[in-house]
Amino acid sequence: MPVADNEIYCKMIDRAKEKHFAYPAINVTSLTTANAVLKGLAESKSDGIIQVSTGGGAFASGSFVKEMALGAISIAEHVHRVADRYPIYVVLHTDHCQADVLDRFVIPLIEETERRRASGRPNLFNSHMFDGSALPLKENLDMAVKLLERCHKNELILEIETGVVGGEEEGIKAEAAAKLYTTPEDTLEVARRFSMIKGARYLLAATFGNVHGVYKPGHVKLKPSILKDCQDAVEKVYGKEARFALVFHGGSGSTLQEIREAVDYGVVKMNIDTDTQYAFTRAIVHHMLKNYDGVLKVDGEVGNKKNYDPRSYLASAEASMAERVKEAVRNMRGEETTLFKG
């Protein structure tokens, strides 16, 4: 049963907090990219997280349909079918979902899980992210609390964000004046509001200068110490058990030292998209340049079917992306940490 259930997912989070490592959460858009994540995790002997964004879901449903929830369901059902062939646990998660698309993405997916549970089947996804970071904190948490109540009833974990991750992702660009650093006061309010829902589990993406996209090392000014300040403030008021399970968004261009410092302060999940996209595409480009006269019918020739068969270059892309997943696992101290005993 390597698609984790809620009990296993909670154990994964608690163990990562205790042992100071984190799980890579890789955005996927197809069966091939999902397979690449499973391969990389299995070869690292690490559990991990496959996640689908609104844009990734729309892409997966096909350019004619473009339905984000339908595409996410298709990818999740594939993972449920193949994951039990891998000796690790995998979690299924949805990435950034802004308030204006909740009714087209997260809500239909929760409804799908509710239908599955009613018929005795396991949850489709394990967790969902609501990104209300562009809203005033009160409005963000008002919506998040209602979602957390519904998620808790269905053994789903909710991820929220306070502060704004800079840069651009899925066509959403942060405003120049966006609040890029979460404050202890923000996190105290999160803890206060969410503590009212007894037993509910959630993840917090607290921002500390994170920026979506790809940048050279040193161009992103991260302040991981902000995470420590937030954790200390919450522990002082609510006790050690209230310390957050944190999420690191916008990690491309971060140094190994910054990644591990963030993990030491309670990051248990780090989102990766840009770097694995590049690894996937880089292998395809290499194939095309190396075999240009085979993938193209040059000067009246017929090309080489073995070269332009999509399986040839997609297999290379899958392998390349899997290697980048393995690098992420190493960076987060996750090698050989799987809970799966087989």
Which pLDDT band, with edges at 50, 70 and 90, does 166 fall under? very low
Domain count, the chain: 1
Q: Is the pLDDT of residue 177 over 70?
A: no
What is the average pLDDT across 176-193? Answer: 83
What are the residues facing 160 on neighbouring strands? 130, 204
What are the residues facing 272 on neighbouring strands? 26
Q: Is the pLDDT of residue 330 over 60?
A: yes
Q: Is the pLDDT of residue 271 over 80?
A: yes
CA distance 201 to 156: 8
- Give the range among 65-79, 201-215, 306-320 with minimum mean pLDDT: 201-215
Q: Is the pLDDT of residue 217 over 60?
A: no
Q: Is the pLDDT of residue 161 over 90?
A: yes
For residue 1, tell me if it sits in a domain.
no
pLDDT value of residue 221: 72
pLDDT value of residue 208: 87
For residue 289, tell me if it sits in a domain.
yes
Cα pseudo-dihedral 84, 88, 94, 96, rounded to 10: -160
- Give the range among 54-63, 205-214, 261-270 with minimum mean pLDDT: 205-214
Q: Is the pLDDT of residue 219 over 80?
A: no
Average pLDDT, the chain: 92
pLDDT value of residue 174: 44
CA distance 290 to 308: 12
Tokens 């009212």, residue?
Answer: 196
Q: Is the pLDDT of residue 178 over 60?
A: no
pLDDT value of residue 342: 72
Q: Is the pLDDT of residue 251 over 90?
A: no
What is the average pLDDT across 31-41? Answer: 98
Residue 58 burial (CB count, 10 A): 23
pLDDT value of residue 80: 98
Q: Is the pLDDT of residue 167 over 50?
A: no
Q: Please report the DSSP string for 63-85 in residue order.
A: TTT--HHHHHHHHHHHHHHHGGG
pLDDT digits (tens, 9 = 90+) for 303-314: 999 999 999 999
Which pLDDT band, with edges at 50, 70 and 90, does 134 fall under? confident
Nearest Cα to Cα of residue 25 among 34, 85, 201, 144 = 34
For residue 337, tell me if it sits in a domain.
no
Nearest Cα to Cα of residue 231 among 267, 181, 195, 285 = 267
pLDDT value of residue 179: 63
pLDDT digits (tens, 9 = 90+) for 11-23: 999 999 999 999 9
What is the average pLDDT across 318-341? Answer: 97
What is the average pLDDT across 218-233? Answer: 84
Residues with active-site annotation: 95
What is the average pLDDT across 211-238? Answer: 79
What is the average pLDDT across 208-230? Answer: 73
- Give the range among 103-117, 126-140, 212-226 with minimum mean pLDDT: 212-226
pLDDT value of residue 2: 85
What single letter denotes the amino acid at residue 194? Answer: F
CATH code for the domain in which residue 69 is found: 3.20.20.70
Nearest Cα to Cα of residue 55 among 220, 212, 163 = 212
Tokens 């651009």, residue?
Answer: 168
* Percent over 70 (pLDDT), the chain: 92
Q: Is the pLDDT of residue 164 over 80?
A: no
Give the structural domain span for 234: 6-331
What is the average pLDDT across 119-138? Answer: 95
For residue 126, tell me if it sits in a domain.
yes
For residue 336, tell me if it sits in a domain.
no
Cα pseudo-dihedral 158, 162, 166, 172, rounded to 10: 50
Longest dimension (CA), the chain: 75
Q: Is the pLDDT of residue 264 over 80?
A: yes
Q: Is the pLDDT of residue 180 over 90?
A: no
Enter the tokens of residue 299.
């000067």
What is the average pLDDT across 30-40? Answer: 98
For residue 249, tell me if it sits in a domain.
yes
Q: What is the dihedral sign for C-alpha 270, 264, 152, 12?
A: positive
